A and B are shown apart, each in its own frame.
Chain A
Amino acid sequence: MVRETNRYFKFDWITIILFLLLVGFGWLNIVSASHTGETMNYFDFSQSYGKQLIFIFLTFGLIVILLGIDAKFYERFSSIIYIISMLSLVGLFLFGKNVNGATSWYAFGSFTIQPSEFAKAATALAVAKHISDLNTNINNLKDQIKAFVIIILPALLVLLQNDTGSTVVYGAFFFVLYREGLPKIYLYIGLFIVLISILALKFGAPIIAVVVAIISLTMYFLNKKKNPLLQSLFIILASTALCFGVKFFYESILKPHQQDRISLWLRLEKDPVKLEQMKKTFAYNLNESEKAISSGGFSGKGFMEGTRTTGKFVPEQHTDYIFSTVGEEWGFLGCTFVVVLFVLLLLRILHLAELQKSQFSRVYGYGVASIIFIHFLINIGMVMGLIPTIGIPLPMFSYGGSGLWAFTILIFIFIKLDSNRINEW
């Protein structure tokens, strides 16, 4: 009997409470953002808030199932789960339903499901399985490539379905691989590419190419032993190619609406008339969401009192732009509360991951934290205008069953794995 009780309480309740707080507070904001009319019935299942309530109830069932399954199941069947998940993504090309230009949904009557949300968890499992395999050495190029393939395959599939947002999420696995010993050169190259690309777009390719050349040549002449000529020349060549490559990519490959987003983000557009035009068209959401957040002030206008929320000024406010509701109605206090909840959740998961005895659990935990982190970074960053517009939901917060369940699966598999760490394996 005592053993039975222990089994329940060895789950990490801090993570669970943080999860529940986010889901609950998220639902309150969905209510605000999606209610219409004066009379209000929380159980009106034709409304978004009503549907979300069903999703939340089903989530509890899902949690029971996830925690009930033997922990070994997840490791043993990770490859199969991954394969099924990839097949479900491929199947979209044949049976998928197109919503807003992305073919990411299976429709069963009025019920739709988005397999790409679940693919994130499947990929996390597969990556964990691959890295924790005794035969895998991440410093080995062959194993690196194998890991990359596992990650890039779903990313490529969702990209082909026009779901750019989900593609970006797979970048999260860089944190996982790096933690597990991916050579530092990847980090440097990655940072270098990101930095040079942004600078080249902002200040022009030729200027940045010349600046990089001058810096690397100076370094070569200061310390010839540490910076051999060949290496310096390679850096110059690569960065020049990168600068002009980015320029070409931006001007010729990106679609106009993507160009506009980047141009707005990097403040490339100076013409006030055109800026005004942007604010009324593609940047309308961003502009309205920033205004809504700003108008909340220190303590917000109060639950269901947001004038911009009530007036539905921010499109997609109950999904991707849910954070602007928090901003308007709960103010700086509410927003800070949400940011702190996310930071605590992430730190808690990372902390637990580091405590894991099994490498599989640790890698998986890292995968969970990385995926949630990327969502958190991009979604809130976008809503506040820090990051160009990329459509991905705020975990646990945004409206949508697939998203909620996918994150539930992601987190609770880890909680189950974690609960097993004290047990003999």
Chain B
Amino acid sequence: MRQFLLFGSVILVGVLFISRLFYLQIYSSSGHNLFEDNAIRKVYDYPKRGFVYDRNGVLLVSNQPSYDVMVIPREVEPLDTLEFCSLLKIDKEQFIKTFNKARHYSPRLPSVFVSHLSKEDYAVLQEKMRKFEGFYIQKRSLRHYQRSIGANVLGDIGEVNQRTIEKQPYYKMGDLIGKQGIEASYEKTLRGVKGIKFIQKDRFNRNIGPYKDGAFDTIPEQGKDVHITIDAKLQEYGELLMQNKRGGVIAIEPSSGEILAMVAAPTYDPNILVGRERSKNFTKLFNDTIAKPLFNRSLQGVYEPGSPFKLMNALVGLQEGVLTPTDKVTCYAGYRYGNRFMKCHCYIGRRNDMISGIQESCNAYFATAYRKILDKNNNASEGIDRWSNHAKSFGLGNFLNNDLYVGQKGRIPNREYYKHVYPRTFYSTYTISNAIGQGEVATTPIQLANMVAAIGNRGYYYTPHIIKSIEGEGIPKQFTERKYTTIDKEHFEPVIEGMHQVYKRGTAQWLRIKDIDICGKTGTVENFAIIDSVKTQLTDHSIFVAFAPKENPKIAIAVFVENGYWGSRFAGKVASLMIEKHIKGYTTRKDMEDWLLRHTLENEYAKPYSGEPFKINGETAFQLVDDIEYKRLKKHLKQIESQN
């Protein structure tokens, strides 16, 4: 038996060792992953992010270098914290806090320790960096906005968050990614592909040489430059006119669907979201839940369209054959249905045909038209579905599927939508508010602008988009295809003539421009807010849509000014000036410009938060901006004019 002691021990130890090897190398080993191997230093080479130009080749966004101090917590060796902190200009508590946060994120992956060093700090630190094992400097490029315009169009870039990293492993902690606007929607085009170098380290953290002679290294792929459809001059001009107001402006070129200007007011200088102050400024913008500067009203603002929607009802009526352009409707300063009454500002007994109905924005005319559409076969349920489908063919009530980062569906109701409120009987009068663009109909400025573009084109539109060209490639096919509406071409002429009359004789006759035939439609929309759980009416929204010139339109525009009262008071002026600016390149009506710069609506916006009862609409006096602000705006206007 004695000879078996050593014999058995040998076999036992052999089995024990192989089990331990199995545990170390197979069970608990994650295999060899170059990215997790701390004997290999990964050096990223970030490519140039593509530049952004406007439609005329004006540079809007370029790059500026920035330096981040990165940390890999596991590789940090005891260091002279005092010296390190003073180099980075942070205190010790902050050092400990940031370090613990990085370690909590991952001990073996790099995290940003201090971001956006100044060039001077970088120069000093770079010399001493070797002393601090586990830390290194990563060069990145930040955006540089050449002009303080188009924050909502251009968007911004910021550090990726952990959720994105988990979903898209391309991104590593500290990488920059497009967060809003064109930076987000064309992230991959602008970003390019970063290169990586694998470098063999030794245990003293020194580089020995490229790993496998660089067999796995990749070279960076440069980001591509893009041209966007925005006209920087028009954009800047629109933003100026919308100062001290809230709302959205969208201008589209009907013949291509290109967005010429996209103004969201209030806006901010895109440069404040660059660099070390980014997170502070972003929080400030984000926390402003009243003015909501980050909320892109031209894309996301869902409003009842009001009177401009009457154009839609006229078109549907003609297409359905329930109206002819010459049919007349008598207005009794309103429209009576059952025991209810819808007011109108026509005089009693005025007889409107389609053209004058549009020109005067007669509620009675369109209530009649709407009822005729819905009651065509004495079946309002079928009727409203047909009506809804026609409206939807203009891109209303759904996402436009374009290249803008945000959007809203809006709402074009159908029978299904009303099922809960009217389960059994359904009459056209139930939804009569839709006749005048109120009630359940809701649109965003971009949808309304697109609708107007389709009218200007007499029956088709191109999906409104922001991309003009990408370096070395074309634009997506979906933006070059015509989308036809369900309305036949010949039905547009009477409606367009009506819109033309709006300028000639109707609600916008004071906004005419010499030499340009504009077709437009005003809108004035009642709106309510809940104040202390009481539904309270606020001053109406001012809305205006237009296209010009009448034949072969070059611009279609939709303007929403919140609480601007009637359509031509604020929105109409903005639309008219922007049309002139776009078509002529300059503006002639200085008094109108001046009026817009001078007037502010801040008093209207303050009302719901004042805690006191307030008056609305015509009972409110105008508020003017103070002289300092006025001078600033005038100076800005001069600058814009001097660019011509």
Binding site for B on A (CB under 8 A): 38, 175, 178-179, 181, 187, 280, 288, 290, 293-298, 301, 305, 307-308, 310-313, 315, 327, 331-332, 335-336, 339-340, 342-343, 346-347, 350, 354, 366, 369-370, 373, 376-377, 380-381, 384, 386
Contacts and interface: CB of A to CB of B under 8 A. Distances in A.
A384 B10 contact: no
B209 A370 contact: no
Nearest to B25: A332
What 9 A-B pairs have minimum CB-CB distances, sorted nearest first?
A: A343-B14, A307-B39, A332-B25, A311-B39, A175-B6, A311-B202, A346-B10, A313-B203, A297-B31
B430 interface: no
A313 B26 contact: no
B29 A297 contact: yes
Interface in B281-335: none
A331 to B, nearest CB: 6
Contacts of B20: 384, 386
B26 A332 contact: yes
Given A295-B37, A343-B10, A288 B21 contact: no
B25 A294 contact: yes
Interface residues of B, number: 35
A370 B9 CA distance: 10
Nearest to A176: B6
A178 B2 contact: yes
B18 interface: yes
B17 A380 contact: yes
Given A313-B202, A339-B21, A343-B11, A297 B26 contact: yes
B7 interface: yes
Interface in B1-36: 2-3, 5-7, 9-11, 13-14, 16-18, 20-22, 24-26, 28-29, 31-32
Dominant secondary structure of chain A at its interface with chain B: helix
Contacts, number: 111
A259 to B, nearest CB: 22
Given A343-B11, A384-B17, A296 B25 contact: yes
B39 A294 contact: no
A327 B17 CA distance: 12
A275 to B, nearest CB: 14
Nearest to B20: A384
Contact of A340 (B14, B22, B29): B14
Contacts of B211: 307
A377 B341 CA distance: 101
Contacts of A288: 203
B32 A369 contact: no
Dominant secondary structure of chain B at its interface with chain A: helix
A300 B433 CA distance: 75
A297 B6 contact: no
Contact of B7 (A307, A342, A350, A377): A350
A179 B6 contact: yes
Nearest to B34: A307
A118 to B, nearest CB: 23
B244 interface: no
Contacts of A315: 203
Contacts of B17: 339, 380-381, 384
Interface string B177-218: 000000000000000000000001111000011011000000
Given A295-B37, A308-B39, A331 B25 contact: yes
Nearest to A187: B5
B596 interface: no
Residue of B6, B13, B209, B212 with most partner-chain A CB within 10 A: B6
B40 interface: yes
Contact of B6 (A280, A305, A342, A373): A373
A339 B22 CA distance: 12
A202 to B, nearest CB: 19
Contacts of B200: 307, 310-311
Given A293-B24, A335-B21, A335-B25, A310 B13 contact: no
Contacts of A294: 24-25, 28-29
23 contacts: A38-B209, A179-B3, A179-B6, A280-B77, A293-B25, A294-B25, A295-B32, A296-B25, A297-B29, A298-B31, A301-B32, A305-B212, A312-B202, A312-B203, A313-B39, A327-B24, A336-B21, A339-B17, A339-B18, A339-B21, A343-B11, A346-B10, A350-B7
Given A280-B77, A366-B6, 11 more contacts: A38-B209, A181-B2, A294-B24, A296-B25, A308-B39, A311-B203, A311-B208, A312-B203, A313-B203, A332-B22, A347-B10
Nearest to B77: A280
Contacts of A301: 32
B29 A347 contact: no
